[in-house]
Each structure stands twice: as C-alpha cells, then as structure tokens.
Structure 1
Amino acid sequence: MASPRNRRPGYSRRAQYSLFISYVILIAGVLVGGVLLLVSKLDPPAFSAMRAGTAEVTAPVSGAVGWVARGVGSVPGWIGSWFTVHGENARLKQQVERQEKVLLRARAIAYENLRLKRLLAMREPGDIDVVNTRVVSSSASSTRRYALIYAGIAQGVHAGMPVRGPDGLIGRVIEAGPDTARVLMIIDPESVIPVRRLKDGAPGFAAGRGDGMLEVRPIAMANGQFAVGDILVTSGTGGIFPPNVPVAKVTERGRDSALATPLARPDVLDFATVMKAFMPPPPPPPADTRP
C-alpha cells in the first residue's frame, strides 16, 4: 500500500478543492492582468484613473503596513543608541558650540542680504508650501522609483509640484488622485534635476540611476568636477524645483561624472511637504469670442 505522502490529490476531497481553487485564482489573475495590459495600451487615461482609484483604496493599508515595518526596522537603532548615548551626548555638545558661531555669521549675512534686497526693491516669492502629508509607501525593489503620498487634488496637489522631506528633495508629483498622489523620486532613471554646488554655485545635472544613487555631471567642464563631500542643492533652473533645496552629497568621483547619495530617504520618511512649482506655467490664452 502506498504511503500517505505519495497519494495523489484525488484521494482527498480537501486537496481536490484546494487544487481547483488555486487553478481558478491563477486563471483569474491571468485574465485580469491581460485586461489591464490591454487597457494600459489602448486607453492610457482610463488606466491612469483605475490606478489612482486603486491607490485610494489601498493607501490606508499600505500606510499601516509601512508604519509597522519602519517601527520594527528602527528597533536595532534604538538598542545601539542606548549603549552609545554618553559619547553621542558629548559629541553633540561640541557640535552645538561650533554651530553657534556659524549661526551668528549666517544671521549677519542674512541681515545684510535682506538690506541689499530692500535697497534694490527685489520681489520675493511668497509661501510655496501647499500641504504637509504622510508618505504612504515607496518602491524599493524596482528600477522605477515611485512614492505614494496621502494628499491629492482635494488638498490642492497637482501634477508637476515638487515634494521634499526634512532632509532634502524627494521628487515631483506626476499623477494626482482625489486624496493620493504618485511621486517620481529623484533616484528614478527618468528624473533629471538641475543642481548647483553649494560652496561656489557650480551648475550641473543630477540624474537618477534606479539603484538609490544619483549621477552628477557638471554643465561647464571649466568649473571642474564635483569632489567627494560636495553638497548639491537645486538651482531653480527649469521652473519646477525652487532654489536652494538640498538634494545630495557627492560620495564618489568619476572621470566625467560623480556619484552622489540623496540626502532624503523616502523609505524611512513618515512625512513630506508638497510645494508649488517655482515658476508655474503661464495661463492659457483667452478664448476667441469673435463671431
């Protein structure tokens, strides 16, 4: 007599039902995938609306799962910081003393800049923040890097608006639904950010690589290559990203380009700020009312 482990599914009605249900689920998944593929090819606006609707439904679940994952992932850091708290406290005290001197010089420079701008009657942009929102999720295992934020058209968020975190630039909104929006992160291969070096203003471009890093190229070779340790900020060129938003820090120098690490990490962020475009597009021309 054959052993129980060698029996076929036909000997067990429960095994037959399980096998049948698995086949049904597999066939249904293939059919749904084929329909979605056809819709994405034949009617991209409808597919975009379906994707936005799916994001609206799954955003609360994704947010809860992401919150739990971030909490579990931060446990080793909490344990490590408990044993190094005394040394870290002394280091931070020394850093505060150094930063106080730098802060005094920065305040003096800021006051001088304000006085010169008033003399020149320069017009400054107003408040550029639209909404502070929660980062629901972000892709970490794909070459296409997107993030989902819990704010949409109802909160004044539209496609083209830049998004930043406490440490630096995250990306820009490419698709907005009623209460959620998709953000193209700066590390995506389709992202190109005009930047400048903080210490001397040397311009360049930071392009995403899809692996969590940025490739930085200078515009003018006469300014020299970017060196390790250089801080890059947005230049304001192009009219989307406002100037002086931190972007990345150069970590490796190449022959014609350099590698930089983004200062903002969306995979560990809880909140982000959506800003207005630095130079919004001009209004449409008036309609022709002539008979």
Structure 2
Amino acid sequence: MAVAPPTGSRPGWSRRAQYGLFFGLLATVGGVIVGLILLALSLVAPERYATVRGAALDATAPVTGGLRAVTTTVGGIVTGASGYWDAARQNGELRRENTAMLQRMVEAKAIHLENAQLKAALQLRERTREAVATGRIVGSSYASPRRFAVLSAGSGDGVEIGMPVRAAVGLIGRVIEAGHFASRVLLISDRANIVPARLLRGGLPVIASGRGDGTLDVRPLEVGRNPFKPGDLIVTSGTGGLYPPLVPVARIIRLDDDGAIAVPLADPASASFAIVERPFEPAAQQAPPTPPAPPPPKRIPKVLR
C-alpha cells in the first residue's frame, strides 16, 4: 500500500539545500553572538577590546592590503587607459591645429608674394611712360611646343595686337590676339618669337629665340667666338621698334657650340601681374618730315600779235 507524501514537502527541495540553509543560519547566529560579545567587551573592558581590535586588524591586514593592491592596479589601468585616450585626443587636436597653421602660413606667404608682385607691377607702371594696361596672368601653356599666356586685359583696356608685355622682373612676350576682356600673349620662349637683345656685360648685340621647351637660344651676331658665360644677363636692345631697350630678358645657364642656352627671367607660372606697353619707336627710326612739294611753275600766257 502506497504512502501519500506529506503535504508540507516542496518539489525539488534537496538535502544539500537544507544543509546550506542550516549552516547559514548557524553562521548568522554565531555572528550575532560574536558581535554581542565584542559590544559587551568594549563596554566592560575597553583595554581588552583594544587588544582584540588589534588582533583583528593584524588578521585582516593581508586581505586589506591585497584588496588595496587590486584596487590600485585596476585604478591605474583605468587611469592609464583614460590618459592614453586623452593623449591620443590631444595629439589629434595638435595635428589638426598644426595642419591648419601650416595652411594659414602658406596662404599668408602666397598673399605676401602676390602683394609684392602687385607692388612691383605698380611701381613699374609708374616708371613706364607708355604703359597701356595692367593685367593678371590667368593661364599659360607648358606641355606643347607653342608657348602662350592669357592676360586679363583686352581691347577694352586699350590692348592691341603687337604690344609688348613685361613683368616686374623681365620681358614676357607680345600680344598676338586681343579680345575685349582678355588677350593672348606669345611668350619669348616660343619658337616663333625672336627678341633683338644684347649682352649686358659688354653690350654685344645678340638674338634670343625661343626653343619651345621653356628656354631660349641666344646667338651672337658676330660669328667666330663664343662670348657668353654662365650667369650672364641678356637685355633688350631696342632694335626693331617693338621692345623697349634695357628690359631684362634671360640668364645664361650653359654654353652651346657657338651660342648659349638661357632661361627667361619672367616666368608666367610665378608672375601674377604684367604690364602691356606701347611698341617702342626710337627717335632715330622715325622718318624726318617730308618737305612740302614746290608749287608748279606758273605758265606765262602767250601774247597774240
């Protein structure tokens, strides 16, 4: 005959759980009793209680020290990680500030260079009597053998085809096309451009012609010896009635068989402003005024007899 289970039994309640609950209760009761004893001891005999507290301190010191070391280590790790991320953030901010500062320095240098070129162009225009217009070089060709530049001054400013163009540092070329607002300039480094010039050292007449690669071919008019030296300066001679005299043209960089190779002093890539002048016409080349023709002789009428 089967016996019914007691009504107070709990499903799944094990003996191990019962033992754990029992020992937990004993530990709680024991803790309360020890606490009461220590309280009574502190009230009745404070000196003995101090000894007990010292013993308890000695017993818990290693545990407290270990926990303190763990706490310090964890705190150091957290602080180090925080410092690392903060240093990385500050480093990134410094890099961004450095980049922005370098960009501002480059912009400031560009503005300073442009202002210096504009000031030089204005001073050049004040010294030049036949200045027609001042414009900005907005483009130039590099890859093709034909060398041109675009100037932001056109026929509306008085620019005409054939007028010479120069910068503050030297000759640039001559106008070959003139629109209303802009004009096209044939650079002196173009193969189709020939500049009558002379050697500044000694005044020897020479001819400077473009090579199509950004340099000039300089040849003396007198054949027989090579008069050039690296570093010599070439200036315009005024011959031909187009370019005014004593305008810097180029600097000799190396010698050739019977001439030299030179680089233009005025580079359109670095020169921002240019002056357009009227063609130079020396007084010696102007034809003297033609004397008026003598009046025809008067005819004497014949007298009829």
User: TM-score when scaled to structure 1?
Assistant: 0.53
Give the Cα separation in 1 of the matches to 2:109 and 2:279. 38
Judging changes above 3 Å, is the alpha-carbon distance between structure 1 residues 259 and 180 closer, same or farther for their aligned structure 2 residues? same
Judging changes above 3 Å, is the alpha-carbon distance between structure 1 residues 222 and 77 closer, same or farther for their aligned structure 2 residues? farther
Question: Which residue among 205, 208, 216 is the counterpart of 1:206?
Answer: 208
- 2:167 is equivalent to residue 155 of structure 1: no
For residues 137-176 of structure 1, the aligned pairs below 5 Å read: 137-176=139-178
- 2:249 is equivalent to residue 263 of structure 1: no
Query: Aligned residue for 1:191?
Result: 193
Query: Aligned residue for 1:24?
Result: none
Give the Cα separation in 2 of the matches to 1:78 and 1:179. 29
For residue 278 of structure 1, report the CA deviation from its aligned partner.
0.1
For residue 76 of structure 1, report the CA deviation from its aligned partner.
11
Q: What secondary structure, in the 3-state scheme, does the structure 1 residue paired with 2:269 have?
A: helix
Give the Cα separation in 1 of the matches to 2:214 and 2:199. 20
Question: Which residue among 213, 220, 228 is the counterpart of 2:222?
Answer: 220
- 2:231 is equivalent to residue 236 of structure 1: no
Residues 135 and 273 in structure 2, CA contact (< 8 A), matched pair in contact too: yes
What do you get for the CA RMSD once the two structures are aligned?
2.9
Give the Cα separation in 2 of the matches to 1:215 and 1:75. 35
Give the Cα separation in 2 of the matches to 1:75 and 1:149. 25
For residue 142 of structure 1, report the CA deviation from its aligned partner.
1.1
Residues 202 and 223 in structure 1, CA contact (< 8 A), matched pair in contact too: no
For residue 221 of structure 1, report the CA deviation from its aligned partner.
2.8
Residues 226 and 258 in structure 2, CA contact (< 8 A), matched pair in contact too: no
Count of matched residue positions in the alignment of Structure 1 and Structure 2:
167
Residues 245-272 of structure 1, C-alpha deviation per residue, up to 9 Å, x if partnerless?
0000001011112000110000122110
Amino acid corresponding to residue 132 of structure 2 in structure 1: V
Amino acid corresponding to residue 148 of structure 1 in structure 2: V
Amino acid corresponding to residue 264 of structure 2 in structure 1: P
Query: Aligned residue for 1:248?
Result: 250
Q: What secondary structure, in the 3-state scheme, does the structure 2 residue paired with 1:267 have?
A: coil
Q: What secondary structure, in the 3-state scheme, does the structure 2 residue paired with 1:273 have?
A: strand
For residues 39-54 of structure 1, the aligned pairs below 5 Å read: none
Residues 167 and 264 in structure 1, CA contact (< 8 A), matched pair in contact too: yes
Give the Cα separation in 1 of the matches to 2:235 and 2:107. 32
Amino acid corresponding to residue 127 of structure 1 in structure 2: R
Amino acid corresponding to residue 163 of structure 1 in structure 2: V
Give the Cα separation in 2 of the matches to 1:242 and 1:228. 25
Q: What secondary structure, in the 3-state scheme, does the structure 2 residue paired with 1:221 have?
A: coil
Q: What secondary structure, in the 3-state scheme, does the structure 2 residue paired with 1:154 have?
A: helix
Residues 140 and 149 in structure 2, CA contact (< 8 A), matched pair in contact too: yes
For residue 224 of structure 1, report the CA deviation from its aligned partner.
4.1
Residues 223-248 of structure 1, C-alpha deviation per residue, up to 9 Å, x if partnerless?
74222111000000011000000000
For residues 35-114 of structure 1, the aligned pairs below 5 Å read: 75=106
User: TM-score when scaled to structure 2?
Assistant: 0.51
Give the Cα separation in 2 of the matches to 1:76 and 1:130. 31
Residues 143-183 of structure 1, C-alpha deviation per residue, up to 9 Å, x if partnerless?
10000001111101000000001110000001101111100
Aligned sequence identity (%): 47
Query: Aligned residue for 2:87?
Result: none
Q: What secondary structure, in the 3-state scheme, does the structure 1 residue paired with 2:176 have?
A: strand
Residues 253 and 262 in structure 2, CA contact (< 8 A), matched pair in contact too: yes
Q: Which runs of 5+ in 1 are unaligned?
A: 1-71, 80-125, 284-291
Give the Cα separation in 1 of the matches to 2:108 and 2:265. 19
Whichever of the two has the greater Rg, that structure is 2
Q: What secondary structure, in the 3-state scheme, does the structure 1 residue paired with 2:177 have?
A: strand
Question: Which residue among 258, 278, 281 is the counterpart of 1:279?
Answer: 281
Give the Cα separation in 2 of the matches to 1:166 and 1:262. 13
Residues 85-113 of structure 1, C-alpha deviation per residue, up to 9 Å, x if partnerless?
xxxxxxxxxxxxxxxxxxxxxxxxxxxxx
Return structure 1 stretches of 4+ with deviation > 2 angstroms: 74-79, 221-225, 280-283
